[in-house]
């Protein structure tokens, strides 16, 4: 029984290591393609439009909901110590540093990342990618890299949208529902929120965009097993990307905000 368990764990570990290696090689090829071939500018713009326009609404709504809830819980905690004047900077810093980049990345993963995997996966199982390769067309240049570049470019804007809507919702809840003095709320934000809080959040969003698009394209490109395989790859893409975002968020926060 113990040996069977060890054998199963070992096989899972080897499979995970092999998958990470293949993902690394996929990303390496994408980077080489990016810097050694001319990119299709209009395809990048098309992908930016597809990712940004189709995702900003759900990103804004999610940010507003989280911002309002954050204000309520922060007020409930700080009011016990008479420190409710710090609700403003806590909401803004939390949205700019963490919730803005992370929530927008998760929403884009579910909305656009899954679509990337499904689209590329369908092309793989219907042998369209094989046909492009037969015609000596660089599939990374044609399919993968434009999506990766577009996601990395558009993510900071979606992160800002999430942050702005979350901050606005927190402000409205604090002023009109929790009855906090407006001047105290705004002056506390001016005194405690730094430009670094915003810029570091934008850096995070770029990293998240690169990660989620790489995973989405890789899972689509390695799809096999017909229509069932497309569904499995799409599910794995979303799960793996979300877990990677959470882990990377901790690593980046530790590097950026701890002395």
CA–CA distance, 44 with 170 (Å, rounded to integer): 35
Q: Helix, strand, coil shares of the chain as percentages rounded to 5? A: 90, 0, 10
Q: What is the pLDDT of residue 118?
A: 93
Please state the pTM of the whole predicted model: 0.90
**In terms of C-beta distances under 8 Å and separation of at least 24 residues, what long-range contacts does 231-240 make, across chains too?**
233/117, 233/118, 233/121, 234/114, 234/117, 234/118, 234/121, 237/109, 237/113, 237/114, 237/116, 237/117, 238/109, 238/110, 238/113, 238/114, 238/117, 240/215
CA–CA distance, 39 with 20 (Å, rounded to integer): 26
Q: What is the pLDDT of residue 83?
A: 81
Query: In the 8-state DSSP scheme, what is residue 99?
Result: I
Return the ∠ at Cα 46 (arms to 42 and 49), rounded to 5°.
Answer: 135
At how many degrees (to 10) do helices 145-172 and 100-108 cross?
Answer: 130
Q: What is the pLDDT of residue 151?
A: 94
Q: What is the pLDDT of residue 208?
A: 96
Q: What is the pLDDT of residue 148?
A: 92
Stretches where the chain sits below pLDDT 70 are 1, 259
Q: What is the pLDDT of residue 95?
A: 94
Closest CA to 88 of 5, 150, 21, 174: 174
Q: What is the pLDDT of residue 259?
A: 59
């Amino acid at each position: 029984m113990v040996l069977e368990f060890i054998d199963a764990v070992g096989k899972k570990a080897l499979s995970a290591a092999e998958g990470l290696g293949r993902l690394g090689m996929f990303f390496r090829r994408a980077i080489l393609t990016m810097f050694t071939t001319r990119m299709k500018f209009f395809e990048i713009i098309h992908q930016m439009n597809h990712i940004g326009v189709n995702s900003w609404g759900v990103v804004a709504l999610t940010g507003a909901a989280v911002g309002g809830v954050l204000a309520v819980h922060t007020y409930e905690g700080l009011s016990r110590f008479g420190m409710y004047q710090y609700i403003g900077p806590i909401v803004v810093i939390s949205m700019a540093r963490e919730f803005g980049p992370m929530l927008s990345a998760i929403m884009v993963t579910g909305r656009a990342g899954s679509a990337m995997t499904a689209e590329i996966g369908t092309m793989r199982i219907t042998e369209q990618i094989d046909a492009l390769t037969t015609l000596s067309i660089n599939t990374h240049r044609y399919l993968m890299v434009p999506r990766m570049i577009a996601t990395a470019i558009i993510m900071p804007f979606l992160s800002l949208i999430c942050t702005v809507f979350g901050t606005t919702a927190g402000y409205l809840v604090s002023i009109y529902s929790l009855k906090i003095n407006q001047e105290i709320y705004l002056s506390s934000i001016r005194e405690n929120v730094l430009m670094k809080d915003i810029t570091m959040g934008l850096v995070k969003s770029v990293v998240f965009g690169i990660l989620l698009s790489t995973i989405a394209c890789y899972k689509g490109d390695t799809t096999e097993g017909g229509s069932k395989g497309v569904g499995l790859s799409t599910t794995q893409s979303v799960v793996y990307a979300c877990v990677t975002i959470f882990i990377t968020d901790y690593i980046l926060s530790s590097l950026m905000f701890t002395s």
